[in-house]
């Protein structure tokens, strides 16, 4: 161990477990790549105002959890706490919304940073795969994204997750509801912090998990009763499309999510095996965000799925992903000449696309065979002086235990044929 450790609330991904994370990232993004979403990558940090304006000053993410810094040049930056604002900023900057047909569909994968109280499933550095569909108001787009996330989780084998769905209304009907809710909340017996929240972000008060608050919320006005006809029709269409696709969801009137920019459709994927940090993914429509950050009106919808929590969900369900072995052939030379000959063969195998590795470090046969076993290779190639004198190597099938002498010149073709 060195003097240093990974910072609090973070952890390292190391082999062999890291392979599982890669596979999860791949599985979460595969349905997007197959559905017209193009890959986008943005910097790990942004102008802090992008998040304070976009995500919202009153949210925990911005007010408590952002890693902010002032550069030597005096710029105020923040490590990105989420993906949507950055992706929209980048799409506007590149004029993607003017180049082709709308919507602009994008997917991304990366690291995010929140200064949260660490616990299982909640880290200060975590990883998400996300998708944004920018510039179209179409319930089919909302439905598409929910269906694709559902598909991603299912291809991983997950079953014990639920989809929670709600509509937050739009700029017409939400303010009316907000007023009614504020009026109701102001009559309650609440602490100062929560009182301040009534002014800033009253919907978040509904999210308060404390029993003494929940008890008082019985009879609070519900947003559904305030939705305007356009929002109602939109939401019905999303629900119908999901049902037609065979995707099961639950209506959850309390689902408000922690970011200010959401309008209309919001949804969350929760996994029942994860305890308190049960959200494995979430998203929604953000029709006003573009204008909030100085762009044109671009109604959009998106989601972000947590890679870390998806891995935890797999563990909770006891699912072992079938990961192909990283190495197909492992070469074990016995002696100096064999070392040169087999190293050349390993290079040749790699050049034709066979995953191959080599017993480095000149350890004895026993240690080298241990490495071969640990590599998970299907075949080992062993050669000593006597083999080379006869122009052969010993090719061992690690599954069947069978071993045969193969002419050195025929080795690459033989291995390719056996692996095919
Ligand atoms: P959010 O934007 O907060 O809805 O985050 C989307 C997803 O990212 C969540 O559903 C989680 O799976 C994941 N996530 C968010 N914050 C954290 C965190 N601090 N640690 C691990 N995963 C997180």
pLDDT digits (tens, 9 = 90+) for 389-401: 999 999 999 999 9
- Tell me, rounded to whole angstroms, the distance of Cα 30 from its chain centroid: 12
Mutate to test the pocket of ligand 1, among 54, 279, 311 (most ligand atoms within 8 A of CB): 279
> Model confidence over 183-199: pLDDT tens digits?
999 999 999 989 988 98
User: If you search the block for the tokens 């037609």, which residue do you land on?
Assistant: 244
Per-residue pLDDT averaged across 46-52, rounded?
96
Res. 139 pLDDT band, cuts 50 70 90: very high
Spatial contact of 248 and 261, defined as CB atoms under 8 Å apart: no
d(CA 394, CA 382): 5
pLDDT over 90 at 58, yes or no: no
**Residue owning the nearest CA to atom 10 of ligand 1:** 281
Residue 57 is predicted with a pLDDT of 82
- pLDDT at residue 100 in the model: 79
pLDDT of residue 33: 98
Structure tokens at 260: 């200010």
Distance of alpha carbon 255 from alpha carbon 232, whole angstroms: 16
CA proximity to 39, closest of 126, 127, 131: 131
130-143 exposure pattern, b = at least 16 Cβ within 10 A, e = fewer: bbbbbbbbbbebbb
CB 168 within 8 A of CB 234: no
**Per-residue pLDDT at 348 exceeds 80:** yes
In ligand 1, which atom is closest to the CA atom of 121? Answer: 21
Q: What's the CA angle centered on 387, arms 382 and 389, to 5 degrees?
A: 145
**Taking the domains of the chain in order of start, what are their residue ranges?**
17-173+227-316, 329-419
* 10 alpha carbon, distance to own chain's centre: 16
| Whole-number Å distance between alpha carbons of 228 and 108 | 33
pLDDT at 133: 98
Q: Measured in angstroms, how far is the CA atom of residue 278 from the centroid of ligand 1?
A: 10
Whether the pLDDT of residue 351 is over 80: the answer is yes
What is the total residue count of the chain? 420
Of all protein residues, whose CA lies closest to atom 17 belonging to ligand 1?
122
CB of 130 closer than 6 angstroms to any ligand 1 atom: no
Residue 258 scores a pLDDT above 80: no
- Can you identify the CATH homologous superfamily of domain 329-419? Anticodon-binding domain (3.40.50.800)
Cα–ligand 1 centroid distance for 119 (angstroms): 13
- pLDDT of 63 reads 87
Evaluate if residue 346 carries a pLDDT over 80. Answer: yes
Summarised one tens digit per residue, pLDDT across range 285-304 is 999 999 999 999 999 999 99
Q: What angle do CA 251, 114, 130 make, to 5 degrees?
A: 55
Which pLDDT tens digit goes with each residue over 273-282?
999 899 999 9
Check pocket membership of 310 for ligand 1, CB cut-off 6 A. no
Query: What confidence category does residue 256 fall into, taking pLDDT thresholds of 50, 70 and 90?
Result: confident
Q: Which of 96, 134, 115 is nearest to 287 (CA)?
A: 134
Predicted local distance difference test score (pLDDT) of residue 324: 83
Residue to mutate (ligand 1; options 161, 309, 310, 313; most atoms within 8 A of CB):
309
pLDDT at 285: 97
Ligand 1, from 24, 117, 304, 312: best to mutate by most atoms within 8 Å of Cβ?
304
Q: Which of 50, 57, 270 is nearest to 158 (CA)?
A: 270
Cβ of 266 less than 6 Å from ligand 1: no
Say yes or no: CB of residue 125 within 6 Å of ligand 1.
no
> What proportion of the chain, given as a percentage, has pLDDT over 90?
85
Partner residues linked to 165 by β-bridges = 251, 267
Instruction: Give the separation between CA 162 and CA 272, rounded to whole angstroms.
Output: 8
Query: What is the pLDDT, as a whole number, of residue 207?
Result: 79
Residues 202-245 pLDDT 10s: 888 887 888 999 899 999 999 999 999 999 999 999 999 999 99
CB-CB contact of 146 with 268 (8 Å): no
137/61: higher pLDDT: 137
pLDDT interval class at 1 (50, 70, 90): confident
Q: Model pTM?
A: 0.93
CATH top class, domain 17-173+227-316:
alpha beta
Structural contact between residues 86 and 118, judged by C-beta atoms closer than 8 angstroms:
no
The confidence score (pLDDT) of residue 5 equals 97
Q: What are phi and psi of 265, to 5 degrees?
A: -60, 125
Q: Is 306 in the pocket of ligand 1 (CB under 6 A)?
A: yes
Residue nearest to atom 20 of ligand 1 (CA): 122
CA 156 to centroid of ligand 1, rounded, Å: 19
């Amino acid at each position: 161990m060195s003097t240093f450790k990974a910072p609090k609330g973070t952890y390292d991904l190391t082999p062999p477990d890291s392979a599982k994370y890669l596979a999860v990232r791949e599985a979460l993004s595969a349905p997007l790549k197959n559905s017209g979403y193009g890959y986008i990558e943005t910097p790990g940090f942004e102008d802090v105002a992008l998040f304070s304006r976009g995500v919202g000053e009153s949210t925990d993410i911005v007010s408590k959890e952002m890693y902010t810094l002032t550069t030597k040049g005096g710029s105020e930056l923040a490590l990105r706490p989420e993906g949507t604002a950055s992706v929209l900023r980048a799409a506007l900057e590149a004029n993607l919304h003017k180049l082709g047909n709308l919507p602009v569909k994008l997917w991304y994968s990366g690291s995010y940073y929140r200064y949260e109280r660490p616990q299982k499933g909640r880290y200060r550095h975590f990883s998400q795969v996300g998708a944004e569909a920018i510039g179209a108001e179409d319930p089919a787009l909302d439905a598409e994204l929910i269906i694709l996330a559902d598909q991603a989780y299912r291809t991983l084998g997950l079953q014990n997750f639920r989809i929670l769905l709600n509509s937050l209304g739009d700029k017409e009907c939400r303010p009316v509801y907000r007023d009614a809710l504020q009026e109701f909340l102001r009559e309650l017996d609440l602490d100062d912090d929560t009182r301040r929240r009534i002014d800033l972000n009253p919907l978040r008060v509904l999210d308060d998990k404390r029993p003494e608050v929940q008890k008082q919320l019985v009879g609070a006005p519900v947003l559904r009763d305030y939705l305007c006809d356009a929002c109602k029709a939109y939401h019905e269409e999303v629900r119908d499309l999901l049902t037609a696709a065979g995707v099961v969801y639950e209506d959850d009137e309390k689902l408000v999510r922690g970011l200010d920019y959401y309008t209309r459709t919001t949804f969350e994927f929760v996994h029942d095996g994860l305890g308190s940090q049960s959200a494995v993914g979430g998203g929604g429509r953000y029709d006003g965000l573009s204008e909030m950050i100085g762009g044109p009106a671009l109604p959009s919808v998106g989601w972000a799925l947590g890679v870390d929590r998806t891995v935890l969900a797999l563990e909770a369900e006891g699912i072992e992903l079938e990961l192909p072995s990283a190495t197909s052939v492992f070469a074990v030379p016995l002696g100096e000449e064999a070392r040169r000959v087999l190293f050349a063969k390993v290079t040749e195998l790699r050049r034709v696309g066979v995953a191959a590795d080599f017993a480095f470090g000149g350890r004895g046969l026993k240690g080298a065979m241990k490495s071969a076993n640990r590599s998970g290779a299907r075949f080992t190639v062993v050669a000593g002086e006597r083999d080379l004198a006869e122009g052969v190597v010993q090719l061992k099938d690690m599954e069947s235990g069978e071993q045969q002498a193969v002419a050195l010149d025929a080795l690459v073709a033989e291995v390719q044929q056996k692996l095919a």
